[in-house]
Amino acid sequence: MSPAALEVRNLSVTIGQARIVRDVSWSVAKGETLGIVGESGSGKSISVLSAAGLGPASARIDGTVALTIDGREQDLLSMPGSQLRRIRGRRLGFVFQDPGTSLNPMLTIGRQLTEGPEVHLGMSRTQSRKRALELLELVGIPDPERRLKSYPHELSGGMRQRIMIAVALACDPEVLIADEATTALDVTTQAQILDAIRDLQNRLGTATVWISHDLAVVGGIADEVVVMYGGEVLERAETVELFRSTQHPYTRGLFESRPHLGERVDQLTSIPGAPPDPRATPPGCVFWERCQVRGDKRCRTDHPELVETSPGHWVRSFYTMSGADPHQDTASTVRPLPWKEHR
């Protein structure tokens, strides 16, 4: 694997008593896509936002966030705010969930596209206008000349999200961070946006971090997937590997709760229960309360470590699934992980 464009090492986020994110590590290389999956409240968004200094002001953030700029590694967490500001937008581009509210309703598309290049790259009005036209073409917006004068409310959701992507890419950043970027769009528009991003990535070599609750979307775009739950990474593997041999009971649960095309079911499978309260995380496995497996009492009392079960495949569980057939009875296929005794 090529060297990481953005690497997060042992990131923890604490707000008061609540430990929102615990010891999260991942990395994404130039031209690759990392998918971060998890349900609401799993800490997936906040871990990434905090890494860029966009988290809540009251949060305490520990760890290292290494961004490689022109071959030199810089820690985002230890740098002063003014320096971080020059990196956001210039080196890191963000796309948020709701394209309806992420664009400033009072400013024209042109103004919002030119702001970044003017501020970060010191472009003149004419240069940045040219850049804006380029960008609109890049993300596949027809008639860019006229679009520059449009206001966000004059565009459809899909168009607005394309504009957001164009804004995020305006300064040719090293890393693009998409936080539920297609969640608010309908499925066909979603597919177009995904295509557009993949295409741009091939052309520009931007590293992408794709945050989503939708395994299907992430499976379609990511090279590597990190599964988060209760503020922890439960499983991390290359996408093909993860889909082929799911190891963690939670990931398995996520796969099973997806509706399948052509299969009539009266009720969708769900994982019963709710994520743990971040103010009082269980001493054992974070998923214990809702886990279908719960092999023995260690699950409740001991906290499992993230263990590499096969090259590049990391799992945080005492019990892992074997085989990838989703129709087999889960309980019977459980085998204990070779587990080193700890604490």
Give contact residues for another protein (rule: CB under 8 A): 52, 54, 82, 85-90, 92-94, 96-98, 100-108, 115-116, 119-120, 140, 142-143, 146, 149-159, 164, 167-168, 170, 184, 186, 188-189, 192
- Tell me the β-bridge partners of 12: 62
- Indicate the DSSP class of residue 279: T
- Residue 12 Cβ, how far from another protein at the closest point, in Å? 21
- Indicate the DSSP class of residue 244: H
- Residue 41 Cβ, how far from another protein at the closest point, in Å? 19
DSSP3 helix / strand / coil % (the chain, rounded to 5): 35, 25, 45
* β pairing state of 4-15 and 175-179: unpaired
Please identify, using beta-carbon distances, which residue of 84 and 215 lies nearer to another protein.
84
- Residue 181 Cβ, how far from another protein at the closest point, in Å? 12
Please identify, using beta-carbon distances, which residue of 209 and 254 lies nearer to another protein.
209
- Residue 303 Cβ, how far from another protein at the closest point, in Å? 33
For 155, residues 6+ apart whose C-beta sits below 8 A from its C-beta are 109, 147, 163
Q: CB–CB of 68/93 below 8 Å?
A: no
- Residue 172 Cβ, how far from another protein at the closest point, in Å? 13
- Residue 7 Cβ, how far from another protein at the closest point, in Å? 20
Please identify, using beta-carbon distances, which residue of 164 and 321 lies nearer to another protein.
164
Encode burial over 188-225: b for 16+ CB neighbours within 10 A, e otherwise. ebbebbbebbeebbeeeebbbbbbbbbbebbbbbbbbb
Nearest residue to 67 via CA among 91, 45, 50, 86: 91
**Structure token pair of residue 214:** 């939708």
Q: CB–CB of 95/168 below 8 Å?
A: yes
Please identify, using beta-carbon distances, which residue of 54 and 324 lies nearer to another protein.
54
- Residue 221 Cβ, how far from another protein at the closest point, in Å? 18
Please identify, using beta-carbon distances, which residue of 73 and 145 lies nearer to another protein.
145
* β pairing state of 60-69 and 4-15: antiparallel
C-alpha–C-alpha distance, residues 316 and 320, integer Å: 9
